[in-house]
Structure 1
Amino acid sequence: MGRMAPDTAPPTEPQDSPQGYVGLDAGDAERFARQRGWTTVRSLPPGAIITMEYRMGRLNFEVRDGVVTRAWKG
């Protein structure tokens, strides 16, 4: 039997636009993001101090009054 080549493909993120979450209820947005394959979903208040390291598969939401006002990868 032949040997299978190791999987050297880099991990992938969902093909999903963060902008599609802006304006959604934060709880719904998180649920949709997880259904679409995001492994980590982080909701933050406006102006939160966060580290800037990029994490593959993470989606960040800035939430004001229970609504996503900004969304970005990493």
Structure 2
Amino acid sequence: MAPIPNPSAEPQDDPDAYVGLDSDGAERLARDRGWPAVRSLPPGAIITMEYRAGRLNFEVKDGRVARAWKG
């Protein structure tokens, strides 16, 4: 039987802390804080809704993070 995979580590970080930051700076900060995956999306982007541990999502409007969430 195959081993059960361990999910990616997820930093103890509040996604709301990124709202209002410029998108490039927010992505650098998230990676510095230990997020292994950071995804920037335009408003209304069509995305899959699976939860991926260790991923931080940004909705970026006019170059700034308008919303941030885990998964």
| TM-score bin, normalised by smaller chain | 0.7 to 0.9
By how many angstroms is 1:40 displaced? 0.3
Unaligned runs of 5+ in 2: 1-5
From 15, 33, 47, the equivalent of 1:18 is: 15
In 2 relative to 1, CA 13–64 (structure 1 residues): closer, same or farther, beyond 3 Å?
A: same
Unaligned runs of 5+ in 1: 1-8
CA distance in 1, matches of 2:17, 2:47: 22
RMSD over aligned CA atoms reads 1.3
**Please, what TM-score do these two structures have when normalized by structure 2?**
0.88
Q: Is the 8 A contact 2:26 2:65 kept in 1?
A: yes
Identical positions, percent: 74
Q: Flag the structure with larger Rg.
A: 1
CA distance in 2, matches of 1:44, 1:72: 11
**Alignment-derived partner of residue 5 in structure 1:** none
**Please, what TM-score do these two structures have when normalized by structure 1?**
0.84
Q: Residues 28-71 of structure 1: CA distance to partner in whole angstroms, max 9, x if unpaired?
A: 00000000000000000000000000001000000001000000
Q: Residues 2-48 of structure 1: CA distance to partner in whole angstroms, max 9, x if unpaired?
A: xxxxxxx8653100000000000000000000000000000000000
